[in-house]
Amino acid sequence: MQSRDSISSQVGILIAATSCVQLANGYFGTFFALRVALKDFGPALNGLVLSGYFAGFTVGALFCGRLIERFGHIRAYAAFAGMVVAATAMMPLLIDALPWIVLRAIIGVGCAGIFVTTESWLNSKAPPDERGRVFSIYMVGSFVALGLGQVMVGRIGLETPAPFNVVIGLFAVALVLVSTTRAEAPRIAADAPLPYGLLSRSAPVAVVGAALSGFVSGIFYSLIPAWMQRKGIDAGSIGVFMLTAVLGGLAFQIPVGRLSDRFDRRMVLAGLGAGLAVTSVVLIHLPRDWAVVLPAAAMFGGLMSTFYPVCVAHAHDRMPADRVVAVSGRLILLFGVGSVIGPLIGSGLIDVFDIDGVLYLVAVAALLLAVVAVSRSLIKAPPPHLDRPFEILAPQAAPLAHDALATADK
């Protein structure tokens, strides 16, 4: 039996490796949006290229668990990381819309596999009484690394192969870290099936919220940096803007989580939706002064990033405990579909109506969530909250984080 110190060391290595991956992802996401804007394949193709990652991530999150069960954690992690490295290395050699759509989708599949492998591994390694703390550290580290990745934007020439090499190097470091640890046999959890339609009938607000969360996130991370570059804003300033939004997302997690534990989560979602709608419209009319824009960016990022975890918590309030993982997987699918659709619609709007059209689209989506949440709260009484703490949560962590809690409850 492994000692507690040995387990802590392995957990630390996994968190460090994931931080490298998120550092690469934070940098790659913003850099790639800027690079696509420079190439300018046209509105439709730009949207498809930017949506490729989200489509691949959605597919990977749904199906990579089977590969982990079959091949084990280390070999699966190596395979997924290898997919990302190989696809990234090919991108500067195949500079065209169609190859980039395919390669970004492959990167999305690989990243999803890396996250699910890491999180299932954390479930196996972390003692039951420390899983909540471990996942909180894991998510904080991920948010911080994702934010720091924005700082790297602008420090390396966008039109050179160097940014791709940086991403390859960071993923390679993560692979080395994980490959030097001993694998833990995956735990195969039996989970009750979730018939289609049951979740939408039981928790329609969570269904709508997860899809709209992906829709808004896809628009923000794919289109906002590209528009800023088109307006002549330097890459370093774009990185600061994106960093501010990411850190705003981290700062809002705990306060919003506490509110959702105390009040009807649907009303909390309504407040978040209304707040994001107002913030989006305010951003349109604000003077282009960083002292004014950056606080609005932090507010935007904070509201946007808390949609998803509140939706997950609300869905689990409504659904039986034996369907925890299946519910989270279904919400990931909805988030992913929204993430694909957002850039496709937004890239067409931005060419016709400039950034105003995109921000009004975000405002409409956020208001739609608020209306659905309020209307449902008037029709149906709130469920009792499950006796579980609110989690700092991103879409890729949803099934594993809740799986850990479900296991601890048994």
pLDDT surpasses 90 at 385: no
Mean pLDDT of all residues in 289-308: 92
- SS3 at position 181: coil
Identify the pLDDT of residue 407: 44
Contact assessment for residue 85 and residue 97, using Cβ atoms and an 8 Å cutoff:
no
- The pLDDT > 90 percentage for the chain reads 34
Identify the pLDDT of residue 410: 43
Identify the pLDDT of residue 342: 92
Q: Which of 136-145, 217-226, 358-367 has the highest mean pLDDT?
A: 358-367
Confidence band for 298, pLDDT divided at 50, 70 and 90 = very high
Whose CA is closest to 396, among 169, 214, 151?
Answer: 214
112 is a domain residue? yes
* Residue 11 lies in domain: 4-184+196-409
Measured CA distances, 13 to 7, 9, 179 (Å): 10, 6, 10
- pLDDT tens digits for range 39-87: 888 888 888 999 999 999 888 877 877 787 788 778 888 899 999 999 9
190 is a domain residue? no
191 is a domain residue? no
- The pLDDT > 70 percentage for the chain reads 82
Return d(Cα 12, Cα 144) in angstroms, integer. Answer: 16
Confidence band for 164, pLDDT divided at 50, 70 and 90 = very high
- The single-letter code of the amino acid at 318 is R
User: What does pLDDT average to over the chain?
Assistant: 82
Helix (H) or strand (E) holding 332: helix 324-379
**Can you say whether the dihedral through the CA atoms of 279, 281, 283, 287 is positive or negative?**
negative
189 is a domain residue? no
Identify the pLDDT of residue 364: 96
- Name which residue leads in pLDDT, 228 or 403: 228
Return d(Cα 100, Cα 102) in angstroms, integer. Answer: 5
Longest dimension (CA), the chain: 63
Whose CA is closest to 187, among 264, 228, 128?
Answer: 128
136: domain CATH number is 1.20.1250.20
E strand map for 193-233: none
Can you read off the two tokens belonging to residue 190?
């039996």
Task: DSSP for 121-160, please give it.
Answer: HHHHHS-GGGHHHHHHHHHHHHHHHHHHHHHTTTSS-TTS
43 is a domain residue? yes
Return d(Cα 110, Cα 7) in angstroms, integer. Answer: 26
Identify the pLDDT of residue 114: 87
b (16+ CB within 10 A) / e for 312-341: bbbbbbbbeeebbbbbbbbbbbbbbbbbbb
Confidence band for 314, pLDDT divided at 50, 70 and 90 = confident
Helices 204-230 and 4-39 pack at an angle, to 10 degrees, of 50
* Residue entry with tokens 């601890």: 408
- Residue 218: partners with Cβ closer than 8 Å, 6 or more residues away: 50, 51, 54, 338, 339, 340, 341, 342, 343, 346
pTM (2 d.p.): 0.83
Return d(Cα 230, Cα 399) in angstroms, integer. Answer: 38
Identify the pLDDT of residue 253: 84
- pLDDT tens digits for range 330-368: 888 888 889 999 999 998 898 888 899 999 999 999 999
Q: Cα angle vertex 119, ends 2, 135, to 5°?
A: 85
Contact assessment for residue 246 and residue 147, using Cβ atoms and an 8 Å cutoff:
yes
Structural domain tally of the chain? 1
Contact assessment for residue 27 and residue 149, using Cβ atoms and an 8 Å cutoff:
yes
Helix (H) or strand (E) holding 201: helix 198-202
Helix (H) or strand (E) holding 263: none
Can you read off the two tokens belonging to residue 376?
């449902």
Confidence band for 271, pLDDT divided at 50, 70 and 90 = very high
Identify the pLDDT of residue 375: 92
